Each structure stands twice: as C-alpha cells, then as structure tokens.
Amino acid sequence: MRDITDIAEVKRQFLAHLTLQKGMSQNTAVAYSDDVDKLIRYLADNGVGAEYATTDDLEGFVCTLQDVGIQARSQARIISGVKSFYKFLRQEGFMDTNPTELLPTPKIGRHLPEVLTIAEIDAMIAAIDMSKAEGQRNRAIIETLYGCGLRVSELVTLKLSQLYIDERYVLIQGKGNKQRVVPISPVAIDQINLYMEQTRSHQVAQRGSEDILFLNRRGAMLTRQMIFHIVKQLCELAGVRKVISPHTLRHSFATHLLEGGANLRAIQQMLGHESITTTEIYVHIDRTRLRDEILQHHPRNNNSQRNV
C-alpha cells in the first residue's frame, strides 16, 4: 500500500481523474474536491490520515454533518464525493480496501421542482424592456432556455457553430461532454435571428468568446449568475410569486411537453438525462397536477355536494 506523503497532490490527481476520466464538469469536480476537504479536516482533527480511515471514522464524519444541520440532500452529495475519493485511492494503490463500501447514504424524499405555467412564462417575456440594448438578447435567452429545455451551463456556453437554424435544431454539449440534438422552436429561432441582426453581429467579441452566442455588453460570455439575475428580475416584474431559477424553465419545458402528450423517452433525450428514472419525476408532477385539478373541480369534491 502506498503512503500519502502529499495530500494536496493526491487531491490534484483526484480532480484530474474526475474531469478527464469520469467526464465530470469542472463545477461538479470542484464540489467533490471541496467535500473531500471537509472529510480530511475532520479526520485530521481526530488524528487519522485519509488512507487509514475506517468505516467507523467515516460514519463519525456523517454524524457530524447531521449534527451541524446539513440537509439529507447535501449529505448525500458529500458522501458521493467521499465514495468517489476512496474508490480512487483504492484504484491508485493507496488503500487495500474501500471503507466507504458499507457507508450508508441518507434517504432523500422526492422533491418536486417548481413549474411555471405557460401564462406565467408569457408574463415574464412580456416584462422584458425591449427598449433597452439587452432587451432582444434577454428575449432570445428566455425563449431558448424554455424552448430547448437547456441547463444554464449549456446556455451560457452555447456556440454559434452549434446552431443549425435551417434544420431547426441545436447541438448541445451536455454533462460529461455528451452531445445531444435538441429541436428549436420557430419562436426561439425568430428571437435569436433578431438578436443576431440587432446586437450580436455588431459586437466585437472578447478573445475566446468569438463563437459564443450570448454575450454581455463587453463582448464576453455571460455568467450563470447573470442568467439567474435576468430570470429572477423578470419573475418579479411579471408578478410571479414562485421561487424560481433558470432551471425552473427547464422543468417547465419538460412538464409542458409531457402534458402535451410527448413520449417520455423523447423528453429524456431532449433533456440529456442518462437515466429514464430522472425524467420520470415529470410524470409525478403531471399526476400531482391532475390530482389537484380533480380535487378542485370534480363535483364529488365540491363542499355543497358533500353537505347534501
């Protein structure tokens, strides 16, 4: 068994392993690395080197997460990062066994994401100030987010070379560098074309952003935080009281497709979900809405009927 003489170097190798071999996004890999940092600090406080940790040591770490009030979903993510780290240590010969094999993961109740109605999305679009320089760009952003069901990371990195306007689809580079073809609506195409004519074609892109579709005023790629700000601001202006994020438009895209009769497998492919079980949450949303509609409108659930 190899000794860990430089934990910082081992963590660097682990990060490279996640991005280069596992195909994780940089954001996910860094989150895993941060989770491992939490564990290493805990083990150091207890006088244990990472390569000598036992299942009991790791269970103590999980109990500490619970004690400080970290929610089950966040605990599960941290444990996932820890398990990946120890699997890596075993593969690289730093450990003879994997102490995380018997480490339980907290059960997480199914969380139903917030979904906007079509009327609420229309209200957000109507709230865009088209007299501003960024108005047409923001209109194209909302139509693309909702019309293609993109992740925020996919939107901000969307390239001109990924647009196939005549064929009406976009080529998306998703998680793990996996590509998928997503149809783009005529409305989104019209708004992108207007943005290209009015703004994008007149901008001087910064170095490295020449092929990026959506740019800020300085000609650089937009940040995820900027997209979040745009969506949140439009939500407030439209009077939408739900707590939403850019990802809400992706959830709404999938839910509205399902309500319209789209095949679940087709939705899975358009969203880029590796497993159909991830997509099936939208079936649950659809059923929940149906139940609410029945309870609200069915005559047997009417108060006057129950009192007869």
Active site residues: 151, 175, 247, 250, 273, 282
- Which run of H or E residues covers position 269? helix 264-271
Within 13 Å, how many C-alpha atoms sit on residue 244's CB side? Answer: 27
The residue among 149, 213, 207, 210 whose CA lies nearest residue 181 is 149
Tell me which residue has tokens 């000598």.
52
| Residue 100, token pair as written in the block | 């995380």
Question: What does the alpha-carbon distance between residue 75 and residue 66 come to, in Å, rounded to a whole number?
Answer: 8
Residues in the chain: 308
Question: What does the alpha-carbon distance between residue 166 and residue 149 come to, in Å, rounded to a whole number?
Answer: 20
Tell me which residue has tokens 């609410």.
292
Question: What does the alpha-carbon distance between residue 128 and residue 140 come to, in Å, rounded to a whole number?
Answer: 11
The residue among 271, 253, 261 whose CA lies nearest residue 142 is 253
| Residue 158, token pair as written in the block | 């969307």
Tell me which residue has tokens 């940040």.
223
| Residue 152, token pair as written in the block | 């925020």
